[in-house]
């Protein structure tokens, strides 16, 4: 079970999912190889031995990056495994690739670095309840 963040072209002015027009058509976000290069500049330890599934493990964070099989990307997913610094690492990735992301645990539905730790905490509480059931 993971806290999942979905990277995509999101309108710059959108502060919440409700701000995105129904007819909005997201653009491609770039080539997978370019996205990987940007992530590896920020996190040289990122392992993209399999370019479709990257791993990023460090002190306090553990992430998987699902970039998929296609070279042209319309988006990708980041799967947080619950490291204390996962929210910070995700914010760094988004900054490196200059993109925004959807965060289903955030009240706005959009990842916000300022409130990402609270969003992660909501997911952790959900995971605790779910695993007790």
pLDDT digits (tens, 9 = 90+) for 65-120: 999 999 999 999 999 987 788 999 999 999 999 999 999 989 999 999 888 888 88
pLDDT of residue 54: 97
In a domain, residue 73? The reply is: yes
Q: Is the pLDDT of residue 1 over 70?
A: no
- Residue 102's DSSP bridge partners are 6, 110
pLDDT of residue 114: 87
How many C-alpha atoms does 29 have within 13 Å on its Cβ side?
25
Average pLDDT, the chain: 92
In a domain, residue 21? The reply is: no
Q: Is the pLDDT of residue 19 over 90?
A: yes
Angle (deg, nearest 10), helices 86-97 and 116-132: 130
pLDDT in tens, 43-67: 999 999 999 999 999 998 999 999 9
In a domain, residue 22? The reply is: no
In a domain, residue 115? The reply is: yes
CA distance 132 to 116: 24
pLDDT of residue 121: 80
What CATH number does residue 35 fall under? Answer: 3.30.1400
- The domain in which residue 117 lies consists of 3-9+27-132
- Number of structural domains, the chain? 1
In a domain, residue 74? The reply is: yes
């Amino acid at each position: 079970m993971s806290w999942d963040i979905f990277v995509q072209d999101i309108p710059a002015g959108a502060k919440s999912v409700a701000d995105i027009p129904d007819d909005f058509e997201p653009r491609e976000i770039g080539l997978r190889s370019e996205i990987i290069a940007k992530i590896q500049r920020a996190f040289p330890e990122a392992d993209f031995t399999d370019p479709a599934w990257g791993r990023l493990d460090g002190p306090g964070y553990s992430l998987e990056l699902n970039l998929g099989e296609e070279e042209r990307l319309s988006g990708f997913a980041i799967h947080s495994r619950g490291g204390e610094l996962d929210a910070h690492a995700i914010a760094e990735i988004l900054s490196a690739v200059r993109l925004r992301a959807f965060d289903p645990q955030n009240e706005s539905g959009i990842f916000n670095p300022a409130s990402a730790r609270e969003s992660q905490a909501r997911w952790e509480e959900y995971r605790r309840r779910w695993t007790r059931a």
